[in-house]
Amino acid sequence: MPIARRPLLLAGAFATAAATIARAQDYPTRPIRVIVPYAAGGTDQYIRVLQQDFAQALGQPVLIDSVVGGGGGIGANRVRTSAPDGYTLLFAGTAALTVVPRMQNLPFTVQDFAPVCTVVAIPLMVAARRNAPFRTVEEMVAQARAKPEGLTFGSPGIGSSPHLAGEVMARAAGVKLLHVPYAGIAPAMTALLAGDIDLVVGAPGIVMPTVESHGILPLAQTGARRIAALPDLTTLKEKGLDVDLVTRFAFFAPKGTPEPILDRLQQVFLRAAAAPSYAEAMRRAYNDVLLQDRAELAAALAEEDRMSERLVRELGLR
């Protein structure tokens, strides 16, 4: 009996595959929703400037939807549980998949997502409130040593890249800082302006406008080198603190999304982000463009996942 059924099973499998390919060839036939799992006014700005380019190339509207909470975990999980048909995507910092699930015991891993492409990679910036009693990294560290957990730092949420960077910075300096999570970097900046927290760790493109308009004090940036947009801002490494973290912002789809759809999205997104006008817009916003295709993003994500597992364990952040 099993032998007799085999041709039917194979025919069914071929029919399913053919239907999937046909749907992919017709894709898209309706609007595409991109979930950004942070408060509006932060990470979403990296792709809003490309929104019309995406829509024109795909022939359908591309809607950007901020779904806040959990350091990116809530929005990421919503994408994970969506149909793998290319109509619900995630645009997020990679920590939303490599760090947040570990620290918040969430029901997903990087394996539950299909990488599409990377468009931005940036170091993180440490800034202090206007009336902080310190003006340099050295003075900040000295005060933190004198009063453990007496200094607070804000981030876009538990398990976010800025949170991890803040914890790694504290470990490298041999001090304890009190972490205050927010629903996104924008509300964290509001808290810093109000003097509710002492420090913030976040993307330069979000922090720098406040530095320029409200006198927030830039202290340093993570990463192995100073970025071109901020040549005068020292790195933590130059101050003797080994914090080499950068964060990638990338597109992801639910696991199981057909490869022809992933290929189409990768092509459209990377072509739009390769425009010189986008590089210039990101430079003005203190960001670096990094274009990685599906394979390159997958390899980088796997390496980051291994590093994140080690850091979360070593820092005792569970």
Q: What is the pLDDT of residues 226-260, one digit of tens each?
A: 888 889 999 999 999 999 888 899 999 999 999 99
Counting residues of the chain whose pLDDT is more than 70, the rounded percentage is: 92
Same domain, 45 and 107: yes
Residue 79 inside a domain? The answer is yes
Q: Do residue 254 and residue 109 come from a single domain?
A: yes
Taking CA 226 as the corner, what is the angle to CA 122 and CA 224, rounded to the nearest 5 degrees?
75
Contact 72, 158 (CB under 8 A): no
Distance CA 211, CA 74 (A): 30
**Does one domain contain both 36 and 78?**
yes
Quote the radius of gyration of the chain (alpha carbons, Å). Answer: 21
Residue 113 phi/psi, 5-degree rounding, is -130, 150
pLDDT tops 70 at residue 2: no
Whether residues 83 and 109 fall in one domain: yes
For the chain, what is the total number of helices (H) and then of strands (E)? 13, 11
pTM, to two decimals: 0.83
Same domain, 276 and 203: no
Give dist(CA 112, CA 255) in Å, integer. 5
Residue bearing tokens 């003075």? 139
Q: Are residues 228 and 278 in the same domain?
A: no
Would 208 be classed as within a structural domain? Answer: yes
3-class state of residue 38 by DSSP: coil
Q: 178: domain range?
A: 125-239
The average confidence (pLDDT) of the chain is: 90
Answer yes or no: is 24 within a domain.
Answer: no
Q: What is the pLDDT of residues 167-210, one digit of tens each?
A: 999 999 999 999 999 988 889 999 999 999 999 999 898 898 88
| Interval 11-38: pLDDT, tens | 454 444 444 555 567 999 999 999 999 8
Looking at residue 103, its pLDDT comes to: 86
* Residue 156: pLDDT over 50: yes
We report the CATH number of the domain holding residue 213 as 3.40.190.10
Q: How far apart (Å, rounded) are the C-alpha atoms in residues 69 and 178?
A: 20
pLDDT band at 4 (very low <50, low <70, confident <90, very high): low
Whether residues 141 and 229 share a domain: the answer is yes
Do 45 and 287 touch, CB atoms closer than 8 A? no
Instruction: Say if 16 falls within a structural domain.
Output: no
As for how many domains the chain has, the answer is: 2
Model confidence pLDDT, tens digit, residues 116-136 = 999 999 899 999 999 999 999
Residue 55 lies in a domain: yes
On whether both 177 and 266 belong to a single domain, the answer is no
Mean pLDDT, rounded, for 36-63: 94
Residues whose CB falls within 8 Å of the CB of residue 287, separated by 6 or more in sequence, listed in order: 46, 120, 122, 203, 204, 205, 229
| Structure confidence at residue 55 as a pLDDT band (50, 70, 90) | very high
In one-letter notation, the amino acid at residue 38 is: Y
Contact residues for 49 (Cβ-Cβ < 8 A; gap 6+): 278, 281
Instruction: Write down the pLDDT at residue 28.
Output: 97
Q: What is the pLDDT of residue 292?
A: 98
Residue 101 lies in a domain: yes
Q: In sequence order, which residues have a C-beta less than 8 Å from that of residue 165 and are 6 or more positions away?
A: 124, 201, 222, 243, 245
Q: What is the CATH number of the domain that holds 58?
A: 3.40.190.150
Task: Please indicate, yes or no, if residue 151 is contained in any of the structural domains.
Answer: yes
pLDDT at residue number 15:
45
Q: Tell me, what's the pLDDT at 23? A: 57
Determine if residue 283 is left, alpha or beta; phi over 0 gives left, psi from -120 to 50 gives alpha, anything else beta. Answer: alpha
Same domain, 199 and 172: yes
Q: Which of 215, 239, 263 marks a domain boundary?
A: 239
- Dist CA 297 CA 284 (whole Å): 25
Domain termination residue (choose one: 218, 239, 260): 239
Final residue before a domain boundary, out of 213, 239, 265: 239
User: What local confidence, expressed as pLDDT, does residue 8 receive?
Assistant: 53
Q: Is the pLDDT of residue 312 over 70?
A: yes
The residues pairing with 249 across neighbouring beta strands, listed in sequence order, are: 93, 120
Asked whether the bond before 28 is cis by omega within 30 degrees of 0, the reply is yes
Q: Which two tokens stand for residue 303?
A: 């390496």
pLDDT category at 80 given cuts 50, 70, 90 is very high
Q: Looking at the structure, tell me whether residues 176 and 224 fall in a common domain.
A: yes
- The reply to whether 22 falls in a domain is no
User: What pLDDT score was predicted for residue 17?
Assistant: 43
The answer to whether residues 254 and 209 belong to one domain is no
Same domain, 142 and 229: yes
The pLDDT assigned to 7 comes to: 55
Q: Is 176 exposed, middle or buried (0-12, 13-18, 19+ CB in 10 A)?
A: middle
